[in-house]
Structure formats: C-alpha cells, structure tokens
Amino acid sequence: MVFLHLYVLCYNESILIRETIDHYQSRFPKIKITILDNESTDDSVAIATLKGCKILSWSSSGIDDNQYMEFKNNIWKTVLPREEEDVWIIVADMDEWLSITGDELQYENDRGTTILSTLGYNIIGNSLQRDLTDIDLHSLTHGFYWPDENKSVCFKRSAIQEMNYAIGAHKCQPIGNIVYSERKYILKHMEPLGLPFMIYKFTERYKRTEKKRNEGEWWAGLHYSDNVVKIKSRYDEQYEGAISIASLL
C-alpha cells in the first residue's frame, strides 16, 4: 500500500487552494497535506483547515526563493519511512498538479521506481474572471508544453536521502536509490487559465519580489512582470499554441 504526503507552498492562494487540494484528495483520499503558509492575508488558511490540511506558518519579506528551496529540500525529512507502508512525497507549488492516480503510483512503487519522471504543461483556460469562477479547472484538457515544469516533484521517502533542488526546483541532484519511472506523468502548471487571472498573479508576484531585486538579486521574480502588454502577449502565445493533452492524462 502506498501512502502520500504532499507539501504545498502558499501565500494568498484563495483562488487555487481549494481546487489544488481537491485535485490531490480525489486521487488519494488518505493523503496528508501540509500547507506551508507564508502569512497569507486572505482566507487560504481557513479553506485549507476546513479541508483537513495541516498548516505550518512562516514569515519572510516578500518572495524568498532561497527559503522556498530550503523547504523543498528538507521539510519532508520529518516523515519517517514505515515498514508497513511505502511512503511517497510530493513537494510542489500551489499551481502544480501532478496527474497520477493511486493505482498508477502503486504500479510504480511495485516495479521499483523511486522518482517519477514528468512532462510539464501549462494548462490553458479562457476564464474572463480573475477568480476563475466561470470555468471548471479540473476539466481543462489543453496545454502548452513547458519544459521548465519537467520537475521531479514526487519521490519515495525510504529510497531518497537528499533531493538537492536548485532554486525553483526545476533541477535537482538526488542522492539515494535513484530509479526514474519509464513513464512520464503530466505535471499540470495551472497558470495561463485566463488573462485577468494571469495579469493579477504576475503583477502581484512581481511586487512581492521588488525588495529582493532592490537588494541586488536581479533574478528575483524574473518569471513575473508588471507589464500588462507583455503578460497578454505571453498568454496569447500559449493559448494559440495549445494542443489537446487529454490522451496523456
């Protein structure tokens, strides 16, 4: 029997947090979810608590990629391997939804896999609302291949001593019994879900990295922007280039 622990970073994620939790709980009803909350000021914590998640709060002045990396590399080490069940770990951002079922994870566990291989896709939506209430996120089946999201987010606790994620967790150098899955599972990046949502997310996160940039970390928030024209161009490019990935899910 496989048992799954999920660790998710959070700051003011009230738009996505309920849907993210539902994504994983629907596939793994006994999953343990820990929300690593960076002192959210919205109702993210209340939503997660009602859905049975554990909350670990921490503070920072804006987005701190080094702290994020520290969490992803170490927070899961508090989970001890058990003889009676095979424990797996997922460490992810709120907008990262790994598409795997309990049966599929059991299959990988039985064949000796210790780290899942992934294919990252930006999932495309056409919401006209900033809060995404006019679309069903779980039914979206079109995406734009995004290799930066080919992340090793899921691994077997008893086999792995270190993941050694780099900033953003786009790369890692794991230590332990390393056996990657032959199959590549889709890692949904729930970002270009609609232009109003994308503008809101990008501009808010760009603001949160301003302090780090002023301190000389020019790369802080490099992925984000407060240029609406630039954000729209990015969204349009991915929307127009999206393909159906229904057969891969």
> Which pLDDT score, from 0 to 100, does residue 222 have?
64
pLDDT score at 217: 59
**What helix, strand, coil percent values describe the chain, rounded to 5?**
35, 25, 40
**Structural domains present in the chain:** 2-117+149-191 (3.90.550)
Residue 168 confidence class, pLDDT cut points 50, 70, 90: confident
pLDDT in tens, 173-191: 999 999 999 999 999 999 9
In angstroms and rounded to an integer, the radius of gyration of the C-alpha atoms of the chain is: 18
pTM value is 0.94
Confidence class for position 216, pLDDT limits 50, 70, 90 = low
Nearest of 7, 8, 185 to residue 89 by alpha carbon: 7
**pLDDT > 70? residue 212:** no
Long-range contacts of 122-126 (CB under 8 A, 24+ apart): 122/146, 122/149, 122/189, 122/191, 122/192, 122/238, 123/97, 123/188, 123/189, 123/190, 123/191, 123/192, 123/193, 124/192, 124/193, 124/238, 124/239, 124/242, 125/192, 125/193, 125/194, 126/194, 126/239
Is the pLDDT at 244 greater than 60? The verdict is yes
In a 13 Å sphere around the CA of 1, the CA atoms on its Cβ side amount to 8
pLDDT reported for residue 221:
58
Q: Which range is least confidently modeled, 1-15, 147-161, 216-230? A: 216-230
- pLDDT over 90 (residue 64): no
When the pLDDT of each residue in the chain is averaged and rounded to a whole number, the result is 92
Residue 48 burial (C-beta neighbours within 10 Å; 0-12, 13-18, 19+): buried
**Is residue 81 predicted with pLDDT exceeding 80?**
no
Q: How far apart are CA 76 and CA 74, in angstroms?
A: 6
- Residue 84 pLDDT exceeds 90: no
pLDDT for position 65: 76
Percent of the chain scored above 70 by pLDDT? 92
What is the predicted pLDDT for the residue at 202?
A: 93
**What number is the average pLDDT over the span 110-125?**
98
State mean pLDDT over 64-82: 85
Whether pLDDT at 138 is above 80: yes
pLDDT computed for residue 214 by the predictor? 66
What pLDDT score was predicted for residue 83?
A: 58
